[in-house]
């Protein structure tokens, strides 16, 4: 029986240290895609930045990360990449607080296509994490981002392979707030309940593989990947 | 992708991790326990309409040999048809690539939980005898358990005793590389969870077993020296734990049985589990035990204890006779 685990996706953390500037830029974009929401929320809550400041700082942080080759300096033997990145954000936020003049928005740097208003909406009702909870908060937001990216991957995969019904079931049952019975789902989607079982199983199988592939790409080392996978899904990989 | 709230996130984590039971006759009811490589679920067999326990490789991406280990464990169990060993019903592959095997769902406390419930020493020793029977049966089939400990022994609701977690089991003298399955990693029913005080050590390619119950040859990582006497050592450690669990003083004869079972050199131990069980039975029945050469006074005390009731009755009778004789003499 073949494993559903996909071939190892190259680590974008490793690519962030590439000598090739294009590879480096692409890697940074991928890192930013996974981390910009957690970073923005973290700045808003942990550093109590105003909305506009947090937007600016998130933009600046990733732009400067490219210019200063910040991620190339990451040493996987010392910390997890997520911890390293959060430490960098903390350091950057401290410097920003000291700086009298804020960097102008955009200033020739890479512009991240982030819908900050939606990220802002997600902050409603979220408690401000104190120093002790900061890492947990950042990890939680990172997980949310990781799962969201995997859902996007699954949607694209299903669309590409003509499995829209599979994704629709997954979206309705696993992402929805209320869960209907398989029989009800079958009626709603025009398929048998047994098909609902099989379609959902397929979608979850693919989702799992995509989630682990995403996770792998965002880890700086195999050891980090194994630790994250163990914590995330309780699995040994 | 829109915002994933915490509840959705947790649901996704759960379903992503759950085994894909589609195309099987089983439906997962609940998770019983989780280990590094295997998870045990209570499941419903839809065809036979009965509850079973399913042990499933935790992840299809698990270490490449995890599937083979589980398969070997299932086959080992299948060979051991004994009332003290959980029977395997079925084995198969799931659509997501995971291997599973189905076995009888056994409900009941583990030995360590039984001991916490103030079980009498006599009851614990009865359980020990049943454990020895199951292990001896395995040995007769050239299977060594290698991870015997209280957490791997279950007492069913009808008093039946089951030896669990044969994940480390293998033949005598088999190298780690061939049998280094993880056990103790799983549990309650039918496989007890790793005990916080007795976690199974699974250093790859070196030591496998549980500290406190592991024989010296296992501790050294000397797989070639592992044989059925390795289980004798672990049984000795279980016995030591049992007699200490009740808080009563340990008689010298029992201490000697434990000492012989746990001798550092395998040649100094009981050479078969049956001999250990026989000594424990002799102890329970207050007969001489082979591990302890008792003196004349100790023998007298043991016999007096064993026959306490008839001796008291005879003495009472004699006293009555003497009193009667004295009374008759006084009257005449």
From the list B74, B19, B32, B36, the residue with the least C-alpha distance to B184 is: B36
Q: Which residues of chain B neighbour A121 with C-beta distances below 8 Å?
A: 3
Listed range (B43-57, B108-122, B277-291) with the worst mean pLDDT: B108-122
pLDDT score of B177 more than 50 = no
Count of residues for chain B? 332
Catalytic residue from among B45, B147, B227, B279: B147
CB contact under 8 A, A149 and B1: yes
The mean pLDDT value for B118-132 works out to: 90
Q: Which two tokens stand for residue B259?
A: 């000492």
Q: Is B14 on the interface with A (CB under 8 A)?
A: no
CA atoms B111, B113, B115, B117: torsion sign: negative
Q: Which residues of chain B neighbour A4 with C-beta distances below 8 Å?
A: 60-61, 96-97
Q: Is A212 on the interface with B (CB under 8 A)?
A: yes
Distance CA A108, CA A86 (A): 24
Distance CA B304, CA B298 (A): 10
Identify the band that residue A165 occupies on the pLDDT scale cut at 50, 70 and 90: very high
The mean pLDDT value for B37-62 works out to: 86
Question: CA nearest B22 in A: which residue?
Answer: A198
| pLDDT per residue as tens digits for the range B136-145 | 999 999 999 9
Q: Can you give the pLDDT at residue B313?
A: 92
The SS3 call for residue B32 is strand
From the list B82, B242, B286, the residue with the least C-alpha distance to B150 is: B242
> Cβ of B82: how many Cβ atoms within 10 Å?
18
CB contact under 8 A, B23 and A198: yes
pTM value is: 0.64
| pLDDT per residue as tens digits for the range A58-114 | 988 988 887 777 888 888 888 888 889 999 999 988 888 776 454 544 444 444 555
CB contact under 8 A, B11 and A118: no
The SS3 call for residue B302 is helix
Q: Taking CA A63 as the corner, what is the angle to CA A62 and CA A64, rounded to the nearest 5 degrees?
A: 90
Q: Can you give the pLDDT at residue A2?
A: 37
Q: Can you give the pLDDT at residue B325?
A: 92
CB B186 within 8 A of CB B34: yes
Q: Is B95 on the interface with A (CB under 8 A)?
A: yes
* Residue of higher predicted confidence among B287 and B211: B287
pLDDT score of B149 more than 90 = yes
Q: Which residues of chain A neighbour B93 with C-beta distances below 8 Å?
A: 1
| pLDDT per residue as tens digits for the range B102-116 | 999 988 888 988 887
CB contact under 8 A, B96 and A148: no
CB contact under 8 A, A3 and B58: no
Closest CB from A121, A147, A233 relative to B4: A147
Closest CB from B1, B7, B97 relative to A151: B1
Q: Can you give the pLDDT at residue A113?
A: 52
Q: Can you give the pLDDT at residue A127?
A: 66
**What b-and-e string marks burial along A164-194, b requiring 16 or more CB atoms within 10 Å of the CB?**
ebbbbbbbbbbbeeeeeebeebbeeeebeee
Q: Which residues of chain B neighbour A207 with C-beta distances below 8 Å?
A: 12, 16
CA A98 to chain centre: 29
| pLDDT per residue as tens digits for the range A104-132 | 444 444 445 556 666 666 666 666 666 66
CB contact under 8 A, B62 and A177: no
Q: DSSP string of B151-166?
A: GGEEE-TTS-EEE---
Nearby residues of A174 by Cβ (< 8 Å), 6 or more positions away = A200, A203, A204, B8, B11, B12, B15
B63/chain A closest Cα distance in angstroms: 6
Q: DSSP string of chain A?
A: ---SPPSPPPPHHHHTT-SSHHHHHHHHHHHHHHHHHHHHHHHHHTS---HHHHHHHHHHHHHHHHHTTTGGG--TTTS-HHHHHHHHHHHHHHHHHH-SSPPPSSTTSPPP---HHHHHHTTTTPPPP-GGGHHHHHHHHHHHHHHHHHHHHHHHHHHHTT-HHHHHHHHHHHSSSS---HHHHHHHHTS-HHHHHHHHHHHHHHHHHHHHHHHHHT-SSHHHHHHHHHHHHS---
Distance CA B30, CA A143 (A): 25
A60/chain B closest Cα distance in angstroms: 24
Q: Can you give the pLDDT at residue B148?
A: 94
B interface mutation test: which of A205, A215, A226 has the most B CBs within 10 A? A205
Q: Please indicate whether residue B147 is annotated as part of the active site.
A: yes
CB contact under 8 A, B96 and A201: yes
Distance CA B76, CA B74 (A): 5
B250/chain A closest Cα distance in angstroms: 43
Distance CA A131, CA A170 (A): 37
Q: Can you give the pLDDT at residue B176?
A: 36
CB contact under 8 A, B3 and A175: no
The mean pLDDT value for B230-236 works out to: 97
Q: Is A149 on the interface with B (CB under 8 A)?
A: yes
CA B125 to chain centre: 13
Distance CA B103, CA B41 (A): 10
CB contact under 8 A, A174 and B12: yes
CB B219 within 8 A of CB B207: yes
Backbone phi and psi for residue A227, each to the nearest 5 degrees, phi listed first = -65, -45
Q: Which residues of chain A neighbour B17 with C-beta distances below 8 Å?
A: 208, 233-235
CB A25 within 8 A of CB A66: yes
| pLDDT per residue as tens digits for the range A127-148 | 666 666 778 888 888 999 999 9
CB contact under 8 A, B12 and A147: yes
Q: Can you give the pLDDT at residue B178?
A: 33
Question: CA nearest A210 in B: which residue?
Answer: B16
Count of residues for chain A? 237
From the list A37, A41, A40, the residue with the least C-alpha distance to A124 is: A41
Distance CA B200, CA B151 (A): 11
pLDDT score of A53 more than 70 = yes
Q: Can you give the pLDDT at residue B201?
A: 45
pLDDT score of B205 more than 60 = no
| pLDDT per residue as tens digits for the range B80-96 | 999 999 999 999 988 77
Q: Which residues of chain B neighbour A149 with C-beta distances below 8 Å?
A: 1
From the list B58, B139, B33, B50, the residue with the least C-alpha distance to B90 is: B50
CB contact under 8 A, A175 and B4: yes
Question: Which letter does DSSP use for residue B74 in this model?
Answer: H
Question: CA nearest A196 in B: which residue?
Answer: B22
Question: Which letter does DSSP use for residue B29 in this model?
Answer: E
Distances (CA, A) of A67 to A108, B189, B213: 11, 57, 58
């Amino acid at each position: 029986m073949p494993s559903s685990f996909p071939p190892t996706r190259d680590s974008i953390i490793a690519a962030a240290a590439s000598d090739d500037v294009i590879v480096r830029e692409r890697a940074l974009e991928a890192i930013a895609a996974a981390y910009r929401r957690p970073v923005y929320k973290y700045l808003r809550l942990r550093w109590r930045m105003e909305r506009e400041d947090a937007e600016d700082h998130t933009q600046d942080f990733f732009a400067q990360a490219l210019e200063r080759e910040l991620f190339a300096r990451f040493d996987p033997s010392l910390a997890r990449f997520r911890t390293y990145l959060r430490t960098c954000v903390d350091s950057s936020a401290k410097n920003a607080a000291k700086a009298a003049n804020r960097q102008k928005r955009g200033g020739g740097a890479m512009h991240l296509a982030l819908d900050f208003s939606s990220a802002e909406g997600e902050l409603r009702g979220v408690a401000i994490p104190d120093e002790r909870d900061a890492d947990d908060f950042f990890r939680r937001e990172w997980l949310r981002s990781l799962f969201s990216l995997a859902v996007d991957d699954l949607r694209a995969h299903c669309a590409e392979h003509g499995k829209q019904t599979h994704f629709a079931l997954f979206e309705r049952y696993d992402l929805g707030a209320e869960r209907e019975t398989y029989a009800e789902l079958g009626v709603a989607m025009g398929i048998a309940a047994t098909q609902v079982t099989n379609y959902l199983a397929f979608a979850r199988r693919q989702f799992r593989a995509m989630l682990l592939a995403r996770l792998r790409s965002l880890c700086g080392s195999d050891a980090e990947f194994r630790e994250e996978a163990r914590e995330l899904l309780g699995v040994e990989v | 992708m829109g915002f994933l709230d915490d509840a959705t996130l947790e649901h996704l984590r759960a379903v992503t991790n759950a085994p894909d039971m589609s195309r099987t006759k089983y439906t997962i009811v609940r998770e019983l326990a989780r280990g590094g490589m295997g998870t045990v679920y209570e499941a419903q067999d839809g065809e036979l309409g009965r509850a079973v326990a399913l042990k499933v490789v935790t992840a299809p991406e698990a270490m490449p040999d995890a599937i083979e280990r589980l398969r070997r464990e299932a086959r080992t169990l299948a060979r051991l048809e004994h009332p003290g060993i959980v029977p395997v019903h079925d084995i198969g592959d799931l659509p997501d690539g995971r291997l599973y095997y189905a076995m009888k769902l056994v409900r009941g406390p583990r030995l360590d939980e039984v001991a916490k419930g103030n079980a009498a020493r006599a009851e614990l020793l009865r359980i020990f005898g049943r454990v020895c029977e199951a292990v001896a049966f395995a040995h007769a089939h050239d299977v060594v358990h290698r991870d015997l400990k209280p957490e791997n022994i279950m007492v069913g609701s009808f008093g039946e005793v089951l030896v669990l977690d044969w994940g480390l089991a293998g033949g005598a003298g088999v190298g780690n590389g061939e049998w280094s399955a993880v056990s103790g990693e799983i549990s309650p029913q039918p496989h007890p969870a790793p005990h916080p005080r007795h976690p199974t050590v699974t250093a790859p390619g070196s030591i496998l077993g549980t500290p406190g119950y592991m024989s010296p040859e296992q501790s050294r990582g000397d797989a070639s020296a592992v044989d059925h006497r390795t289980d004798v050592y672990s049984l000795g450690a279980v016995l030591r734990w049992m007699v200490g669990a009740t808080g009563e003083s340990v008689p010298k004869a029992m201490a000697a049985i434990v000492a012989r079972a746990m001798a550092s050199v395998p040649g100094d131990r009981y050479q078969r589990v049956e001999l250990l069980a026989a000594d424990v039975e002799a102890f329970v029945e207050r007969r001489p035990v082979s591990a302890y050469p008792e003196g004349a006074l100790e023998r007298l005390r043991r016999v007096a204890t064993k026959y306490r009731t008839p001796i008291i009755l005879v003495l009472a009778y004699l006293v009555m006779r003497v009193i009667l004789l004295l009374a008759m003499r006084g009257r005449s």
